[in-house]
Every structure is written in structure tokens, then in C-alpha cells.
Homo-oligomer: A and B are copies of this chain.
């Protein structure tokens, strides 16, 4: 397999960096090819702005979707963005690894998404009509590939449980797993999450590392999260509302968009 790891932690001697190396070593030992985008190390630019669109005439308003589309169609995206798009096309598996800061990804990784997910590449793809609303949520440029998150959190696992005060981890990660990964087509594997990451001792680290190695060895076989496909028949078009009655009674919120509660469905 070809695996791209996009890594976002500022400290080379961090727990995150150690886990990243555990993953890379294990994947390479299995004979896989690994590329790493180490965002802090490469001084990644986080802010999308006019400099992202060198062909935008000086007097024109920057409209991000339109300017992005123009630059993508003209092959005029900046070199750093173009290189990342190339890696996404090369890889059959994408791993995003980051510490959970304020219940989401660090700014530098959000900036990777904001800038690399160009219009015409990651969105604005496919037929838009009364029968289809583009290729997204299971279809698109990255369909047929797999993706997963490796997340380190300082907090306690209980606080991220279904009734935990922070909200359930699955729901906190939904905007990323569904909105960023599934959107351009990825099959999304369950995330690998480490809790109380600041407090791990050596024995604790080795347990986490072994669990991570297990996930690296099953990248190709782990069942993905059962997100519904936009154009698979479950949604009304163009309202893009889930058809009534598909889900188990009492299902609400983000959970509606996964099939694992559907009556009669076998995941």
C-alpha cells in the first residue's frame, strides 16, 4: 500500500512524534510505502489568502471558491498545495495525526485542509442536477481510498463518552471524519484515539504503541465507519435530507448519517 501521513505537532520529541514513528516503522516493515507531510517541520502556511491564487488579477475580489476553481482549472495552484494534492492522489490510504486542541485539529492542519482541498479537486466535482448533487460523501476524487485519524487527547476517556461533558468523541470527530474525509470520497476507518496523552508513562506508551501497530496491520481490512453515500438512495435530492424511516427509532443528530443503527441492516 501507499500511505500518506499528515502530521501536525510542533515538538519533535512529543508523544505524538513517537507514535508517528511507531506507525511509520511498522508500515515500512510490512513493505508499504510511506510519505510524511510534517506540517510544522515544513513551515506549512495555514492561512488561505490572495497569495494562494497567483493568477487572480490584482483588482479582483478574492472569492475563495471561485478563485480556487480558477487556479485549479488553470493548474495555477501554489507549489506547496500542488505537491500535497499529488500525494493525496498517490496514496491509497491517508492518515491525519494530531493532538485534539479545543475539540478539533490544530490550526496548521485546518490550514492544510483549507488550502489543499481545492474547488474542482475536493469539492465542486461531478454532475449537479435534479438526480445528483455532485460527487461527494462517498464519491469524488478520493473515492476508493481509505483514511483514518490518529488523535491524542489530554482529557479523560469518560469525559468523551456518550454522556460525557465534552460530548462523545465520535460526534466531535464527525465534522472531520464525515465532512473532511468522507466528503471527497474516502472510506473512513474508526479513529485511533489516545486519552490522557500527557500522563503516559513508559509502560503505558508501550501498550498504546502495540495497539497502534495492530491498527497499522489491519489498515486494509478494518471495516470503515458505515457512513451513508449521498447518491446511494438514502437522501432526497436536491433537499439532501435523509429519507424518513430509515434509521432506528430515537436516532438523531450526526448518528443519522451512519447505517449501523438501521433496522434490518447488517454492517
Contacts and interface: CB of A to CB of B under 8 A. Distances in A.
B168 A253 contact: yes
21 contacts: A10-B50, A14-B63, A46-B47, A47-B108, A101-B114, A102-B110, A102-B180, A103-B179, A104-B110, A107-B114, A110-B110, A156-B240, A159-B239, A164-B242, A165-B235, A167-B178, A172-B175, A172-B179, A175-B175, A252-B252, A253-B255
A210 interface: no
A131 interface: no
A21 interface: no
A64 B50 CA distance: 31
Interface in A134-176: 137, 154, 156, 158-159, 161-168, 171-172, 174-175
Given A240-B158, A252-B250, A102 B113 contact: yes
Contacts of A107: 46-48, 107-108, 110-111, 114
Contacts of A162: 252-253
Contacts of A113: 101-102
A241 interface: yes
Given A65-B198, A107-B111, A198-B65, A163 B46 contact: no
Interface string A45-59: 011111000000000
Contacts of A65: 154, 198
A258 to B, nearest CB: 11
A267 interface: no
A40 interface: yes
Interface of A: 10-11, 13-14, 40, 44, 46-50, 61-65, 99, 101-108, 110-111, 113-114, 117, 137, 154, 156, 158-159, 161-168, 171-172, 174-175, 178-180, 198, 230, 235, 238-242, 249-257
A214 to B, nearest CB: 27
A106 B110 CA distance: 7
Contacts of A159: 239-240
Nearest to A168: B253
B253 A198 contact: no
